Amino acid sequence: MAVQVVVMGVSGCGKSTLGRRLAQAFQARFVEGDDLHSVDNVDRMRAGIPLQDEDRWPWLERIGEELARAGKQDSGVVVACSALKKSYRDLLRRTAGPGLGFIHLRGERAALKARMEARHDHYMPATLLDSQLATLEPTDGEDDVLALDFASPADRLQAKAAAFLRQSANSIITDASLPVPAGSARQ
């Protein structure tokens, strides 16, 4: 079975950056979850209007379809998706099937805000950060989730995420089914 992983967290935490690195390391396809939002959702966020559950469900279903398609094709996929609530993660688990893992990038609000304010190529304004943080439900107790501090060096984040994906007790991913990431200690 190929790797199936959602890199999750609030806007500005580095989901896309880590997701692309993991996809390259595991020879998997990268899916930018933001690209699967409806035009209406993007317009709302651009206007500083927080999304509600009813806005997010169709988007999450599209992400789940991407995960399920990869599972059926036995091809690897890494998706960047906020997955803020446990119910959202549960929907992705049900849709993707066994073997899905989550990497939760989290950290200090001030650092997240600074990163968001420094971005000029994204529609999500920093004014929505507090709404996302209020919506975010803890991942504690979810065995298929590894929480990492987004402020750690990118190489360290990638190494810890890759090790988790290989060693997770609740994952059906095995060492033999994953290529060894470049720069890993197992080379």
Please determine, for residue 115, whether its predicted confidence score (pLDDT) is greater than 80: no
**Closest by alpha carbon to 124, among 41, 8, 46, 59?**
46
CATH class of 4-15+17-168: alpha beta
Domain boundaries, the chain: 4-15+17-168
pLDDT tens across 62-77, in order?
999 999 998 888 788 9
For residue 180, what pLDDT is reported?
43
Closest CA to 102 of 33, 149, 168, 37: 168
Worst-scoring range by mean pLDDT, 15-29, 48-62, 101-115, 120-134?
Answer: 120-134
- Predicted local confidence at residue 127, as pLDDT: 64
Q: What is the pTM of this model?
A: 0.82
Report d(CA 126, CA 132) in Å as an integer: 10
The burial of 177, by beta-carbon neighbours within 10 Å (0-12 exposed, 13-18 middle, 19 or more buried), is given as middle
Q: What is the pLDDT of residue 126?
A: 60
Task: Please give the average per-residue pLDDT across 43-50, as a whole number.
Answer: 77
Which of the two residues, 120 and 175, has the higher pLDDT score? 120
State pLDDT tens for residues 51-108.
Answer: 788 888 998 999 999 999 988 887 889 999 999 999 999 999 999 988 899 999 998 8
- Region 115-136 average pLDDT: 72
